[in-house]
């Protein structure tokens, strides 16, 4: 039953083919079997999961509950879960037990979802390979010498290896879509503000957005419906009705206008280009039309990101002071020493690099030159996207420039690592929803197809991806040894 989708599990639970306890036990057994290889989990909450599963079974037996009741998933360890260790992949929070639930965790729990544990991630979500985690790198089930992508790498590997049917993630510059692409699964980053950020440990608050990593667009629709919505506890969560995402999945694509960004196709590797071109043929067959477009300011998105994100990170991570929670150094001489050594020891190299980059670009005399300039360029990028959506419904292209790379290949060169996200960062800059779905393989490694839409077009993106998945089988492929 481990290779069933959430939709299939939901139907099976209702038809009493299996119980939630059985599903949860099966997921926990797969965690035990595969985690020594994948390192996808930081914390496993077996007892708690089984207790929630028993409650879900009781609800189902009474004929209660919704489509997600009793379905096991995993949460990225960036989401606070009450009474559960929440590390954010950092030594800083190694012993942090959250006193409260993130809204995402609470809403999914209320929908009856059973969380089996917390997944590994780049430290504070800063990374594109899951190698900056204090808990060690995650391995890609398609080739265990390669990275699964990041920062939601543990969630991606766990779903790709069918350890759990789906997992939550967060996306600040591509951290859901890039690992989904590199791991051969579906990843959805919703519109900025669509899902509450309350209890989601902050990295760059104007970019962070919670989403899901799943096997199918249909599963993403089911989960997003339960996660989305206004939250009074997050002042940036948007007051916009949540549609029934699953209801719009089967709309025909006849007449769909697809934009192809020149910037996304120039210089693409032949293997990736071929997979993406083949996908476009599928859409044309379904009645969609394609046209070339250019977003002139898009090539500036990575440099904009590497001003805005570190600036917000340096501000957000100032809360880790060694006083109220988190790591504290031994024998501090004075308060300054306490701050400096607690933070120096608690944070890893990439987090320190970003805090210092942010501190620099926000410091006196540089604020206008870097941060203000970047926020202006960011507006240009958002305007470019808005203009594009006046003539097309969605933009389609590759999710990443290359398939999964080898562990250790890019750890010494931050800029090369940052360039993994050249195609994904644009959507974060403009606050747009975007989705990655598997569209082929290069040398046995998955390739992702990215679909970007205007704000609050999640239903359309899921509809487009679902239609594609009815015509292709890439999303059903399971890595060897994990079948």
Partner 1 sequence: MYDYARFFQLPEAFGPVATPMSLTREDLEKIAHLARLQISAEELPAYVESLSSIIDFVEQLNGADTTDVLPMAHPLSGQTQRLRADEVTENNARELHQQNAPRVEAGLYLVPKVIE
The catalytic residue positions are 76, 151, 175
94 binds partner 1 (CB under 8 A): no
302 binds partner 1 (CB under 8 A): yes
What residues numbered 388-417 form the site for partner 1, per CB under 8 A? 401-402, 413-415
What residues numbered 413-432 form the site for partner 1, per CB under 8 A? 413-415, 419, 422, 429-431
What residues numbered 225-284 form the site for partner 1, per CB under 8 A? 232, 235-236, 238, 263, 266-269
Nearer to partner 1, 69 or 314 (CB): 314
386 binds partner 1 (CB under 8 A): yes
Candidate list 284, 352, 472, 478; residue touching partner 1; CB under 8 A: 352
Instruction: Return contacts of 459-462, CB within 8 angstroms, 24+ apart.
Output: 459/221, 459/243, 459/245, 459/248, 460/248, 460/393, 460/394, 461/188, 461/394, 461/433, 461/434, 461/435, 462/188, 462/217, 462/218, 462/220, 462/221, 462/224, 462/245, 462/248, 462/249, 462/435
What residues numbered 99-158 form the site for partner 1, per CB under 8 A? 99
What residues numbered 325-344 form the site for partner 1, per CB under 8 A? 325-328, 332-341, 343-344
What residues numbered 444-463 form the site for partner 1, per CB under 8 A? 455
The two beta strands, 289-293 and 394-398, are unpaired
Helices 458-471 + 217-227 axis angle, to 10: 160
Instruction: Name the minimum Å distance from CB 114 to partner 1.
Output: 25
CB 479 within 8 A of CB 160: yes
Nearer to partner 1, 57 or 231 (CB): 231
356 binds partner 1 (CB under 8 A): yes
- Which residues contact residue 188 at a Cβ distance below 8 angstroms, ignoring those fewer than 6 apart? 176, 211, 212, 214, 220, 224, 433, 434, 435, 458, 461, 462
8 binds partner 1 (CB under 8 A): no
Per-position x/- string for 38-67, each x denoting binding to partner 1 as judged by CB under 8 A, each - no binding: ------------------------------
CB 28 within 8 A of CB 70: no
Q: How far, in Å, CA of 68 to CA of 65, rounded?
A: 8
Instruction: Name the minimum Å distance from CB 286 to partner 1.
Output: 29
Nearer to partner 1, 422 or 459 (CB): 422
Count of other CB atoms within 10 angstroms of residue 478: 16
Structure tokens at 160: 């790709």
Instruction: Name the minimum Å distance from CB 166 to partner 1.
Output: 26
């Amino acid at each position: 039953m481990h290779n069933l989708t959430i939709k299939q599990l939901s139907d099976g639970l209702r038809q009493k083919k299996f119980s939630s306890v059985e599903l949860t036990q099966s997921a926990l057994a797969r965690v035990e079997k595969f985690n020594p290889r994948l390192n996808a989990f930081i914390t496993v909450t077996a007892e708690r999961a089984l207790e929630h599963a028993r409650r879900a079974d009781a609800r189902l037996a009474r004929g209660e509950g919704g489509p997600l009741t009793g379905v096991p998933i995993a949460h990225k360890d960036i989401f606070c879960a009450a009474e559960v260790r929440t590390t954010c992949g950092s030594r800083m929070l190694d012993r942090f037990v959250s006193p409260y639930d993130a809204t995402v965790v609470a809403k999914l729990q209320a929908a009856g979802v059973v969380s089996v544990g917390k997944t590994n991630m780049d430290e504070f979500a800063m990374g594109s390979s899951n190698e900056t985690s204090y808990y060690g790198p995650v391995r890609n089930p398609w080739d265990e010498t390669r990275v699964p992508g990041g920062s939601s790498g543990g969630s991606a590997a766990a779903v790709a290896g069918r350890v759990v049917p789906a997992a939550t993630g967060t996306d600040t510059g591509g951290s859901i879509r890039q690992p989904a692409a590199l791991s051969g699964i579906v990843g959805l980053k919703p519109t900025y503000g669509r899902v509450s950020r309350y209890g989601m440990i902050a990295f760059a608050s104007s970019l962070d957005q919670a989403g899901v990593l799943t096997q199918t667009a249909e599963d993403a629709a089911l989960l997003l419906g339960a996660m989305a919505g206004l939250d009074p506890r997050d002042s940036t969560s948007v007051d916009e009705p949540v549609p029934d995402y699953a209801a719009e999945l089967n709309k025909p694509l006849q007449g769909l206008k697809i934009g192809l960004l020149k910037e996304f196709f120039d210089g693409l590797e032949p293997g990736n280009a071929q997979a993406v071109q083949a996908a476009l043929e599928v859409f044309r067959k379904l009645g969609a039309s394609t046209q070339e477009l250019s977003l002139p300011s898009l090539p500036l998105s990575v440099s904009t990101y590497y001003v805005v994100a570190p600036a917000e990170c340096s501000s957000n991570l100032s809360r880790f002071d060694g006083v109220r929670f988190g790591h504290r150094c031994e024998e501090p001489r004075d308060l300054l020493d306490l701050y400096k050594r607690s933070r120096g020891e608690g944070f890893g190299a990439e987090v320190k690099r970003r805090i210092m980059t942010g501190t620099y670009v926000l410091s006196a005399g540089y604020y206008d030159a870097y941060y203000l300039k970047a926020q202006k360029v960011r507006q240009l990028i958002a305007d470019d996207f808005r203009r594009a959506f006046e003539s097309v419904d969605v933009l389609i292209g590759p999710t990443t420039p290359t398939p999964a790379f080898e562990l250790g290949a890019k750890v010494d060169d931050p800029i090369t690592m940052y360039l993994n996200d050249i195609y994904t960062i644009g959507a974060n800059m403009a606050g747009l929803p975007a989705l990655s779905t598997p569209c082929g393989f290069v040398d046995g490694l998955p390739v992702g197809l990215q679909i970007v839409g205007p704000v609050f077009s999640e239903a359309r993106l899921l509809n487009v991806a679902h239609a594609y998945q009815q015509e292709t089988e890439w999303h059903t492929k399971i890595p060897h040894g994990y079948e």
